[in-house]
Chains A and B, each alone.
Chain A
């Protein structure tokens, strides 16, 4: 189909990507603005970044967010991978329909509903709100995203490889950790990263479920954004964008290398077999 890649397609792609990237680009550019007025350019300066690091409240919030994101992404990856395995490997078990419903519904559920319902649960069981309630809330919705990512990888995975390992006397656990996991690892890693950024990003659910002393970075940014656009906020956002962009690019390079390596191995195996 390459021949039919006409002018129309190129124009729509260029316009589409300009629309997607221009706002972010402008935000990054204006974080280096000398002037406090965000929309008047007054020369290049990094002073907002320097000021940022002396902002105690912002730094505390960043630390809380980093811990919540790390812990919730890790637990969500384990639970999400289990859910993915349950959905692809075990096609018959009691309540499977309910289970798959519970895995897919949080993907589209409005955040205000998820946030409110979790808060009411924590109040009902008398659980003090704070670091752990935010973490539990983040695990719950991000494990579903992990499950979807891992599931799509598991579906293209040749199950006979695992069966072969079992036939050769491996225990199920060994077969999983030595055969299945290495194959689905790229999906598990990108699931972890997705869960991490979802947690880093979340404002609504955190606002409902957090308590005193557990203000996350998005909550802090939100309360300042309501007072107006400031260069400090642009600087915080630029740093966050930078971290995420670096992570995603690094992950894609790693995946690509593994893919190349895998292909080379396969070809070598075919040559040996031939």
Chain B
């Protein structure tokens, strides 16, 4: 009897979470795909429906024939979209590498810290993650703008004579992404570095390996799972980032998240913005799979 009840409870536990995600996570993607194939219209909602479930099968096939990939052709015809995709990927790649370069020494320092203060250090890395993303990006506007704190400071030191233009450039986007996503990089790096067996490095050193070589030949390769997880956690959201390019990058910088937003809210072209989203998702599918695999692996290692 207990086993029977338990089986029902198990079904219920799985089914509820499963159904929620099916309805509110997976189904919406299918709708996005569907709308990306429809024609824009001046109505509310502003697109011509492609399928009508109640129109029967003949209507369904008629519609199927009328499906158009015109939105996609339009995307590839217009250099604006292609450039936006390419520059998003480029900006995300560069900022992921900078984040790795900044985050690695921090994670390494934490992992080598005395065990008694490690929880405090961990907490200090996580805490900024809890404060609003929008607020952290906003804080940089006051620092980076021409009459901002950074320029005042540099001029006070006498390093520069006139303010540097940083706000509304790609540099500001790099700073924003590195700053906002740094905890995402440090945490997975720290968890692999902390678990590492220190005696391996000692062995390398005892055998006459110089410290730098020991790092590159032993420590870094062993921390690769953390590197992959950290890079994916930064790269994937950074490609589609909207808030950072919008607030720090100014009007001239091109990123696809911003293009999608403008297409949707300003031009009210839902089919084209859906097509933009579908292509963005296709670009990100490989990195997302990589991330999933690294997660699954670390879970198996945990078991």
Contact = CB atoms under 8 A, between A and B. Distances in A.
Interface in A157-186: 166, 171-173
- By secondary structure, the A interface counts as helix
A225 B138 contact: yes
Nearest to B241: A110
A257 B182 CA distance: 29
A268 interface: no
Contacts of B149: 26, 39
A86 B26 CA distance: 18
B32 A116 contact: yes
Interface residues of B, number: 96
Nearest to B114: A2
B288 interface: yes
B116 to A, nearest CB: 9
B224 interface: no
A99 to B, nearest CB: 6
B32 to A, nearest CB: 5
Given A104-B292, A108-B237, A225-B138, A113 B277 contact: yes
B17 A79 contact: yes
Interface in A164-222: 166, 171-173, 193-194, 197, 200-201, 203-204, 207-208, 218, 221-222
Interface stretch (B56-64, B73-81, B101-109, B154-162): B101-109
Contact of A2 (B115, B243, B284): B115
Interface in A1-39: 1-2, 4-6, 8-10, 12-13, 16-17, 19-21, 23-24, 26-27, 30, 38-39
B262 to A, nearest CB: 11
A245 interface: yes
B268 interface: no
A8 B110 CA distance: 12
B124 to A, nearest CB: 6
A244 B139 CA distance: 17
Interface residues of A, number: 91
B200 to A, nearest CB: 12
A152 B277 CA distance: 32
B128 A20 contact: yes
A110 B25 contact: no
Given A201-B132, A203-B134, A221-B134, A121 B242 contact: no
A16 B106 contact: yes
A171 B179 CA distance: 49
B20 A106 contact: no
Given A23-B136, A222-B134, A112 B32 contact: no
Nearest to A221: B134
Interface in A127-145: 136-137, 139-140, 143
Given A1-B112, A118-B24, A229-B141, A112 B299 contact: no
B17 A83 contact: yes
Contacts of A106: 25
A171 B2 contact: yes
Contacts of A38: 142
B283 to A, nearest CB: 10
Nearest to B22: A102
A117 interface: yes
B133 interface: yes
A248 interface: yes
A263 to B, nearest CB: 15
Given A104-B291, A104-B295, A117 B112 contact: no
Interface in B77-114: 102-103, 105-106, 108-114
A23 B139 contact: yes
A105 interface: yes
A85 interface: yes
Contact of B21 (A20, A102, A108): A102
Contacts of B112: 1-2, 4-6, 9
B291 A23 contact: no
A99 B114 contact: no
Most interface-central of A103, A116, A121 (chain B CB within 10 A): A116
Q: What 10 A-B pairs are tightest by C-beta distance, nearest first?
A: A110-B240, A117-B28, A12-B105, A9-B109, A16-B106, A83-B17, A23-B139, A108-B236, A121-B28, A102-B21
Given A1-B112, A105-B292, 11 more contacts: A5-B112, A5-B113, A8-B105, A13-B110, A102-B22, A102-B25, A110-B241, A112-B261, A171-B5, A193-B130, A244-B131
